[in-house]
Structure 1
Amino acid sequence: MKKREKEPEQKKEEKQNKKVTFNISKTNNFSEWFSEIIDKAELADLRYNVKGFVVFRPWAVRCMEKMYDLIEDELQNKGHEPAWFPAVIPEKNFKLEGEHIKGFSPQVFWVTHAADTILEEKMAMRPTSETAMYQMYALWIRGYRDLPFKMYQRAQVWRYETKATRPFIRSREFYWIESHDCFATEKEAEKQVLEDIDTTEKIMHQKLGVPFLALRRPEWDKFPGAVYTIGSDSLMPDGRVIQQPSTHYLGQGFAKVFNVKFKDKDGKEKYVYQTCYGPAVSRIFASVISMHGDDSGLVLPFIIAPIQVIIVPIFNNENKAIIFKKADQIEQELKNSGVRTKVDKREDRPGEKFFFWEMKGVPLRIELGEKEIKNKKLVLFLRDSKEKKIIDEKNFVEVIKKEGDLYDKRLKDKADKWFKDRIVDCKTKDDIKKALEEKKIAKCNFCSIGKEGEKCAEIVEKELLASVRGTRHDKKEIAKGKCPFCRKKANFVVYIAKSY
């Protein structure tokens, strides 16, 4: 018997359902999953007609604005002041610091014309702001009373990335915060490095649920012009690490170049010691998406979700007015208590709305129908566990707030366990290779993170297609035995991983 051909309306309905559902395996095909969720959840649009540049769409921007607020509040609580510096930097500024220009010149976008006029001196679109900010610091810092001097800006930066670009992960324009600090002593400056790591811990890990390793980079992989660099490496589902906020101890190198001095208590002029710290908000968002999302779409932390609670009224023509009125009342009570809430009054079927808001990653959903109004109960759906609870209407606001806190804790706990399970101890090159093939981070003994270890690092890059990420800066780990590559005495415990 022939199957009855689907009616045009039925085909249309199925097509609409396909738009709001999402069912791709993040574990088996992360690359496709990531591309699809960016498209389906309307996080970014890649169709802007300049290669490597994307348009960030409202749902992503609203999340990232909340992230900016969290980071800026933490920085200001720790004594940083906000500023806005120009986006263009004169070429002569770059030339002042040799290592810096050598490291960044291949990535710089240069402005050479103003209208039809060729500029006397070309200007860089800032790839980072040391060479913009420190000339002003030399004017502002005079004596020891001006120190410590802690300043940051939220800004866009531009880098001509030659590697493959991906929205949020790697692009030629990204959105970040950069703090640049000055101190009277080396001890104070190095204490700031630890404070920067603490900021990453408190915001990216504790608030957003993204675990990381604070790793001191090998000598060959430090920030151009820095004494040393600490990178915060998080792991993506495809087994590649992504560098999140990095902090750099700059010593007095930039201070001497830009003449940033102060008169100390003893009356002598001295150069300041400097640090800089760069949390890239758009890149952290990539980790948030990837760490918490599942095969149904986004799973956004409650703390940054643009909509924390979606109310889905279940109605017909007869009871629509009554249910909408109650939904509006619940929405207003939640909004009054600071919970970002929306009522979905579209005429679509409830199931379609459920799928849509699950794909968008809204943490909590209230389902409200005639039965719930009669019984003075609410159906509460939890996005992360997909569990449904029946809650009393009389104290629903307190319950929602508590569930939001518990929700974020569950996301963090789940991510911590996943991350911990993917760091493995390795003794041999074969062990390391196996760990990398299993999409994990290899922890092993290593000869040196100084220049003498560079040859072994080249073996890692060429034979294992990975990189030596560095040593733990937040804890002391004792090396034993020999380096698995050169068989010389191991002096450091390092972490090896594939990366973006």
Structure 2
Amino acid sequence: MADSAEQAKLPEQQQGPSKSALKKAEKQAKMAAEKAAKASKKAAVPVVGGKKTDDIIGITVPKNEDFSAWYQEVVLKSEMVEYYNEIAGFFVLRPASMYIWGVIRTWFSARIEAMGVEETSFPLFLSSKSLEKEKDHVDGFAPELAWVTKAGDKDLEVPVAIRPTSEAVMYPYYAKWIRSHRDLPLRLNQWNSVVRWEAKQTTPFLRTREFLWQEGHTAHLTEELAGKEVLEILDLYAGVYEQLLAVPVVKGRKTENEKFAGGYYTTTVEGYIPSNGRGIQGATSHCLGQNFSKMFDITVEDPNKRGEHIHVWQNSWGLSTRVIGVMVMIHGDDKGLVLPPRVARIQSIVVPVGITAKMSPEDRKNLEAKADDIAQTLKTAGIRADVDHRDGYTPAWKFNDWELRGVPLRLEFGPKDAAKEVVSFARRDTGEKGAIPLAEVTTKVPELLETIQQDMYNKAEKSFREHRIQLTDWDKVVPALDAKNVVIIPFCLEPKCEERIKELTVSTSPENELLPEGKRAPSMGMKSLCIPFEQPEGLVEGQTKCLNPECSALAKNWVMFGRSY
């Protein structure tokens, strides 16, 4: 199955790479690793420790000047990832990232378990013989498939591949386990990592050679039952983005060109990155139809026709750690991360302030103890809170550090606050400041965190809505793309027409080329993102033409196009 990152395809040559190809690949990997190591050394300037002044080394590249460099700097300095310098294209996911992934996993697992999905774990290796069974489906995966050819100093008789996805690993056992329609539905999900040896430049979370995901694989008796589950899962994926990450998405169906290879149809949630105007695929839920059950001979006796056998209907669906990168790109700013409260490991940080050299040890101890009490009161109320008692750092330095890490709410408590029996607050998302009576922190802080969560979503949703432009004039398409929009246009759904649209929409804007690299809109041609389930009005059946000026066919749907990741 294809993940929310991108579709990959399996090998054409099933016997593994040649020795010369391996040698060449090793040389390229070594060069890439050296380059990544230099970049990491240059970018990973320490932000915590060693600095005791207010001139903290924070984010040095403005988001609107060089978006790519800004993003790399944010995920490194906020301690979300680290370069894995041993092998190019791999990254270490640090606790800050894994906490977010853990929240997503817990939320999603609870909901699919309620649907009857069970957890499983299959091996990460598959043989070339297994891949041969689905060769037609996976024909283009070859460049991204990682092969193991040796065990110790001995060559393997049959090379084994590291899974890029698990159909070929799992489905032979579906054929073994499913004997009767009473065994249906079979619904399994696994949380694992997969390897796709990207040849292109890798980017933390968005394009990596190994990534974490969940992959669900299910079998059903009928098309109707399979289709019902496809949409249920898609709604859950939208929930991950919108309810947890405060990221708006558009739900829809992929065109034939963009659907999962070998599947019957693909549904998707699509996001939008305002800083560069690119669309981004969020997660996909596929109806595989009976294509794979025919490949792997997964059949049951037809309950309505005794003695006859039918192939089961299958689905697959996946969500990857790409979601974290999307969240960072949309909400982050020039100070660093901006985390939605529902996924933040620390929702509120208490920072003691107003401690001076003239303050008596007893007064300082009392102030710090009261700060601890505030944090404990919040924890008792279900808020993930902590206190920053680090010595040798000024409050301003601490403020900058917690802003870099994206903590949603900062609470400041000093002698003046104690006298007024309040705690001062500062919102990470807007910078808004105010005060909360100490007697009301258990109600006001949760309310404020929920307000922050909703405001972050509203801001992102407004931006996405304003940059989804509905067009019926072809001449306005490329200018709209150059202005960092995605477009919704009448489209005939023909694959060849879609390919031509991509060629026709490559930007040649001289103004765009004159801008600094970080400020340019993407110049590649647009591709279809999805056929939105919510169709705009205005398309007249039998009358509205496809917007491609070279196409004479009638439009079948409004389709969202954009330059995308």
Q: TM-score w.r.t. structure 2 length? A: 0.82
Q: 1:93 aligns with which of 124, 130, 137?
A: 130
Partner of 1:494: 559
Instruction: State how far apart, in whole Å, the 2-side matches of 1:99 and 1:461 are.
Output: 31
Letter in 1 for 2:314: Q
Between 83-92 and 421-430, the greater mean CA deviation after superposition: 421-430
Instruction: State how far apart, in whole Å, the 1-side matches of 2:144 and 2:53 are.
Output: 43
> What pairs with 1:325-340 in structure 2 (closer than 5 Å)?
325-340=369-384
Partner of 2:394: 349
Partner of 2:516: none
Structure 1 residues 91 and 437 mapped into 2: Cα distance closer, same or farther (>3 Å)?
Answer: same
Report the alpha carbon displacement of residue 14 of structure 1 after superposing the two structures with TM.
8.1
Instruction: State how far apart, in whole Å, the 1-side matches of 2:242 and 2:423 are.
Output: 32
Report the alpha carbon displacement of residue 31 of structure 1 after superposing the two structures with TM.
1.4
**Is the Cα–Cα contact under 8 Å of residues 217 and 470 in structure 1 kept in the other structure?**
yes
Partner of 2:66: 29
Instruction: State how far apart, in whole Å, the 1-side matches of 2:181 and 2:215 are.
Output: 24
**1:485 aligns to 2:530 (yes or no):** no
**Is the Cα–Cα contact under 8 Å of residues 448 and 490 in structure 1 kept in the other structure?**
no
**1:195 aligns to 2:232 (yes or no):** yes
Q: 1:299 aligns with which of 314, 338, 341?
A: 338
Q: 1:365 aligns with which of 410, 419, 422?
A: 410
**Is the Cα–Cα contact under 8 Å of residues 125 and 157 in structure 1 kept in the other structure?**
yes
**Is the Cα–Cα contact under 8 Å of residues 449 and 470 in structure 1 kept in the other structure?**
no
Q: TM-score w.r.t. structure 1 length? A: 0.92
Letter in 2 for 1:413: N
Structure 1 residues 44 and 265 mapped into 2: Cα distance closer, same or farther (>3 Å)?
Answer: same
Letter in 1 for 2:124: A
**1:263 aligns to 2:263 (yes or no):** no
Could you say what secondary structure the match of 1:288 adopts? Answer: helix
Letter in 2 for 1:474: F
Partner of 2:114: 77
Instruction: State how far apart, in whole Å, the 2-side matches of 1:448 and 1:295 are.
Output: 41
**1:40 aligns to 2:106 (yes or no):** no
Letter in 1 for 2:466: D
Partner of 1:475: 534
> What pairs with 1:131-142 in structure 2 (closer than 5 Å)?
131-142=168-179
Partner of 1:240: 278
Partner of 1:286: 325
Report the alpha carbon displacement of residue 137 of structure 1 after superposing the two structures with TM.
1.4
**Is the Cα–Cα contact under 8 Å of residues 498 and 528 in structure 2 kept in the other structure?**
no
Report the alpha carbon displacement of residue 472 of structure 1 after superposing the two structures with TM.
2.2
Instruction: State how far apart, in whole Å, the 1-side matches of 2:52 and 2:137 are.
Output: 53
Report the alpha carbon displacement of residue 425 of structure 1 after superposing the two structures with TM.
2.0
**1:423 aligns to 2:468 (yes or no):** yes
Instruction: State how far apart, in whole Å, the 2-side matches of 1:42 and 1:181 are.
Output: 37
1:92-129 Cα offsets, whole Å, 9 max, x none, are: 22111133220322211111111112112211111111
Instruction: State how far apart, in whole Å, the 1-side matches of 2:75 and 2:254 are.
Output: 31
Instruction: State how far apart, in whole Å, the 1-side matches of 2:230 and 2:506 are.
Output: 28
> What pairs with 1:413-452 in structure 2 (closer than 5 Å)?
413-451=458-496
Between 394-403 and 459-468, the greater mean CA deviation after superposition: 459-468
Structure 1 residues 462 and 436 mapped into 2: Cα distance closer, same or farther (>3 Å)?
Answer: closer
**1:311 aligns to 2:350 (yes or no):** yes
Partner of 2:312: 272
Partner of 1:399: 444
Letter in 2 for 1:34: Y
Structure 1 residues 28 and 430 mapped into 2: Cα distance closer, same or farther (>3 Å)?
Answer: farther
Instruction: State how far apart, in whole Å, the 1-side matches of 2:169 and 2:96 are.
Output: 32
Between 382-391 and 99-108, the greater mean CA deviation after superposition: 99-108
Instruction: State how far apart, in whole Å, the 2-side matches of 1:35 and 1:43 are.
Output: 10
1:248-284 Cα offsets, whole Å, 9 max, x none, are: 111011111112222343344321101111111x200
Partner of 1:323: 367
The number of residues matched between the two structures is: 488
1:388-410 Cα offsets, whole Å, 9 max, x none, are: 12111112112111111111111
Structure 1 residues 80 and 294 mapped into 2: Cα distance closer, same or farther (>3 Å)?
Answer: same
Instruction: State how far apart, in whole Å, the 2-side matches of 1:470 and 1:446 are.
Output: 12
**Is the Cα–Cα contact under 8 Å of residues 149 and 182 in structure 1 kept in the other structure?**
yes
User: Identity of counterpart residues, as a percentage?
Assistant: 32
Could you say what secondary structure the match of 1:430 adopts? Answer: helix
Instruction: State how far apart, in whole Å, the 2-side matches of 1:85 and 1:17 are.
Output: 51
Structure 1 residues 53 and 450 mapped into 2: Cα distance closer, same or farther (>3 Å)?
Answer: same
Unaligned runs of 5+ in 2: 1-48, 509-522
Report the alpha carbon displacement of residue 473 of structure 1 after superposing the two structures with TM.
4.5
Instruction: State how far apart, in whole Å, the 2-side matches of 1:434 and 1:55 are.
Output: 39
Query: What RMSD, in angstroms, separates the aligned Cα atoms of the two structures?
Result: 2.2
Could you say what secondary structure the match of 2:410 adopts? Answer: strand
Unaligned runs of 5+ in 1: 1-11
1:206-228 Cα offsets, whole Å, 9 max, x none, are: 32111122342222222121122
Structure 1 residues 88 and 16 mapped into 2: Cα distance closer, same or farther (>3 Å)?
Answer: farther
Structure 1 residues 27 and 460 mapped into 2: Cα distance closer, same or farther (>3 Å)?
Answer: same
